């Protein structure tokens, strides 16, 4: 099997029993939410948004919501040891717990998905405060990761009921031009990719828009396979990776070993000016994977003409690739924990709606070099 690109998305063709308005927020379970929130503000340019914890009547955890344009992260930590959040961190280290999706009707989203086979994580719950009401429901996906459905059309507060507005007038980092979640990638176990492809097709009504097999994405030593799942309107994309056999250990296997199971590999954040964004992030200490400078020697032969000047792209190590609709610019951070697990992608789309094989392979090779330096290849 070779790389396959399905027909362009046509919303009319999809029976949209689960209309998704996009990603509402990504929640991370972390060992120290106060410090993690500071990291996302100081390194990535997020702003303080809202806080929940003992002072707001939440007894078992502290959560900090930070925001940059339409991108909202929540950093949550347990306050005591006997707690499912503590168990999650003990098992996985810091990582993504919830990929939360904005819907008009969270009760219907839960009914439609559980009817189609999803395992319930949270029955629809109505939460109220003086700013209105929010309905939240949730289902399990791969590993210990969940999808929450967030209905907030009747809410005007800072973030969610239970939170209070939070800001620090003395610490207002300027933003880095990060706009919204472009996609979130899941790493699943051996021979599990197609199971989860079917899950996203049948339970959430997604389409498989692109596939890479182990001939596309491999080196002399290791390999992976990947399928890109997209919601009917294209607002939510969840690529799914699984390890493939090679002479040495697949980088997906390294992730599965250190995360202790399946989970979110990376969250991609969109920008309209990747040169500006990456320049800012590097200045603030964010570390990126590097490609060999030879990557740029044949770049324009591979992708054709692009609007950007090649010099800053090369200086910053930004990758360029193309699909049938246009091109895209990408760059990947190193893992943001000591475990080789979660990392971030910065992406600027110039017409492209999916992904290119060349960048996927360049990412794969860059991770493999890091993997080898960790002694895990
Ligand atoms: Fe990605």
Residue 6 has pLDDT above 70, yes or no: no
Ligand 1 centroid to Cα of residue 349, in Å, is 12
Q: What percentage of the chain carries pLDDT values higher than 90?
A: 79
Residue 12 has pLDDT above 50, yes or no: no
- pLDDT recorded at residue 292: 86
Ligand 1 centroid to Cα of residue 217, in Å, is 14
Find the mean pLDDT for residues 362-370: 86
Ligand 1 centroid to Cα of residue 54, in Å, is 36
Taking only the tens place, the pLDDT of each residue in 272-326 is 999 999 999 999 999 999 888 888 988 999 899 999 999 999 999 999 999 989 9
- pLDDT recorded at residue 282: 98
Residue 253 has pLDDT above 70, yes or no: yes
Ligand 1 centroid to Cα of residue 158, in Å, is 29
Three-state DSSP at 4 gives strand
pTM (two decimals): 0.94
> Which domains, from first to last, does the chain contain?
22-165 (3.10.180.10), 177-374 (3.10.180.10)
Ligand 1 centroid to Cα of residue 323, in Å, is 14
Ligand 1 centroid to Cα of residue 39, in Å, is 22
| pLDDT level of residue 247 (50, 70, 90 thresholds) | confident
Q: Which residue has the tokens 């939070």?
A: 166
Ligand 1 centroid to Cα of residue 331, in Å, is 9
Ligand 1 centroid to Cα of residue 268, in Å, is 6
Taking only the tens place, the pLDDT of each residue in 36-73 is 999 999 999 999 999 999 999 999 999 999 999 999 99
- pLDDT recorded at residue 13: 46
Question: Cβ neighbours of residue 60 under 8 Å, at least 6 residues apart?
Answer: 78, 79, 80, 83, 85
How distant is the alpha carbon of residue 314 from its chain centre? 25
In degrees, rounded to 5, the angle at the alpha carbon of residue 30 between the alpha carbons of residues 28 and 34 is 105
Ligand 1 centroid to Cα of residue 119, in Å, is 26
| pLDDT level of residue 357 (50, 70, 90 thresholds) | confident
Q: What percentage of the chain carries pLDDT values higher than 70?
A: 96
Ligand 1 centroid to Cα of residue 209, in Å, is 14
Residues facing residue 68 across a β-bridge: 71
Confirm if 67 and 112 have CB atoms less than 8 A apart: no
DSSP 130: T
């Amino acid at each position: 099997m070779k790389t396959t690109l399905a027909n362009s998305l046509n919303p009319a063709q999809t029976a949209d029993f689960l209309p998704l308005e996009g990603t509402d927020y990504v929640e991370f379970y972390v060992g120290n939410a106060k410090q993690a929130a500071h990291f996302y503000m100081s390194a990535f340019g997020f702003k303080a948004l809202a806080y929940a914890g003992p002072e707001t009547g939440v007894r078992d955890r502290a959560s900090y919501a930070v925001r940059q344009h339409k991108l909202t992260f929540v950093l949550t930590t347990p306050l005591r040891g006997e707690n499912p959040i503590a168990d999650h961190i003990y098992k996985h280290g810091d990582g993504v717990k919830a990929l939360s999706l904005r819907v008009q009707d969270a009760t219907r989203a839960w009914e439609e998905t559980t009817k189609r086979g999803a395992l319930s994580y949270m029955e629809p719950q109505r939460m109220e405060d003086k700013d209105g009401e929010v309905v939240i429901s949730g289902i399990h996906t791969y590993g210990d990761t969940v999808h929450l459905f967030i209905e907030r059309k009747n809410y005007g507060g800072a973030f969610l009921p239970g939170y209070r507005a939070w800001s620090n007038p003395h610490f207002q980092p300027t933003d880095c031009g990060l706009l919204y979640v472009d996609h979130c990638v899941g790493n699943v176990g051996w021979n599990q990719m197609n199971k989860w492809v079917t899950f996203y097709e049948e339970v959430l009504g997604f389409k498989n828009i692109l596939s890479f097999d182990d001939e596309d994405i491999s080196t002399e030593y290791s390999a992976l396979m990947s399928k890109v799942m997209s919601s009917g309107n294209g607002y939510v994309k969840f690529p799914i990776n699984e390890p493939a056999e090679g002479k040495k250990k697949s980088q997906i296997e390294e992730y599965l070993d250190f995360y202790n199971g399946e989970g979110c590999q990376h969250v991609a954040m969109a920008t309209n000016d990747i040169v500006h964004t990456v320049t800012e992030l590097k200045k603030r200490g964010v570390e990126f994977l590097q490609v060999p400078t030879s990557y740029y020697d044949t770049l324009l032969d591979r992708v054709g003409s692009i609007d950007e000047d090649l010099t800053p792209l090369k200086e910053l190590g930004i990758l360029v690739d193309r699909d049938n609709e246009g091109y895209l610019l990408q760059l990947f951070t190193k893992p943001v924990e000591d475990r080789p697990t979660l990392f971030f992608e910065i992406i600027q789309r110039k017409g492209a709606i999916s992904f290119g094989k060349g960048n996927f392979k360049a990412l794969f090779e860059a991770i493999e070099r890091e993997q080898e330096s960790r002694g895990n290849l």
